[in-house]
Structure 1
């Protein structure tokens, strides 16, 4: 399956890394909630977001878009631009997650909102990354 994805279109690889990132995000949130049960809801959301961003960026650079290393300055530019786009898409994600939680007041609703918000955000982020971050990709 992984080989089939590796040889496929970048969109297929992006979807696979998005699923991996979503799972890592939600797992990190749940581990935070269990590890620090008295922490505010936003602590778990921020931890999950940071874990998801790190995994998504590294895997997208090396596997999804197959972007080659350029220079430290070039890498810093890519990380910064990807980070800025991530802020935009994270606002979408958080709005869904927090909105679903505020309306239905359950963990299931919170995680459903997270999955929906992350899905919408990742669709937008694919387009932004492909067009502006990983312009020199080998795919």
Structure 2
């Protein structure tokens, strides 16, 4: 796979995860817009987006076809750990824009900006620390 194809594929998967994340948030926020609902929406959206992105990255970005509970547990744990810092970027940006403007549009813009920056950082962390036993499809 060429570097350009890798970037396009990774970006497409990030967009899919963002859409799933935001759709989950919207579904939860239909029940209310209190601080509790906001926190629940952000947390649930993050979990759903994380699982989707892991499955896509594992198979189609890092070409990791290993199976089994032990393999998935170890890699998903590392994948999640690498995402803690990037999740803080995402949550911080989304929350800041929501607190400043108090609108769904700005909250979602904050989410998109935070997720975009976070995914660039996360790719590099995952490549270095999580999917170390497989070669990338693109030249480094």
Q: For this structure pair, what is the TM-score category when the shorter chain's length is used for normalisation?
A: 0.7 to 0.9
Q: Identify the range of structure 1 (40-49 vs 70-79) with the bigger mean alpha-carbon deviation.
A: 70-79
Correspondence 1:28 to 2:33:
no
How far residue 95 of structure 1 moved from its aligned partner, in angstroms, is 0.2
Conserved in 1, the CA contact under 8 Å of 2:95 and 2:110? Answer: yes
Equivalent residue, structure 2, for 1:103 = 100
1:134 is displaced (CA, Å) by 1.2
2:14 is matched with 18
106-115 or 38-47, which deviates more: 38-47
User: Is it true that 1:37 corresponds to 2:32 in the alignment?
Assistant: yes
- CA-to-partner distance for each residue in 1:92-126, whole Å, 9 max, x for gaps? 00000000011111111100000000000000001
Q: What's the offset of the Cα at 1:32?
A: 1.1
Matches of 1:46 and 1:24 in 2, distance apart? 13
| CA distance in 1: counterparts of 2:8 and 2:90, whole angstroms | 21
Asked if structure 1 preserves the Cα contact closer than 8 Å seen for 2:82 and 2:122, the reply is yes
Cα pair 2:28 2:37 within 8 Å, conserved? no
Moved more, 71-80 or 50-59: 71-80
| Mapped contact 1:90–1:121 kept (Cα < 8 A) | yes
With a CA cutoff of 8 Å and minimum separation of 6, indicate the structure with the bigger relative contact order: 2
- The 2-side partners of 1:8 and 1:134 are apart by 20
Q: Which deviations, in whole Å up to 9, do the C-alpha atoms of 1:62-120 show, x marking residues without a partner?
A: 11211121554332221111011112111100000000011111111100000000000
Between the two proteins, the alignment pairs up a number of residues equal to 134
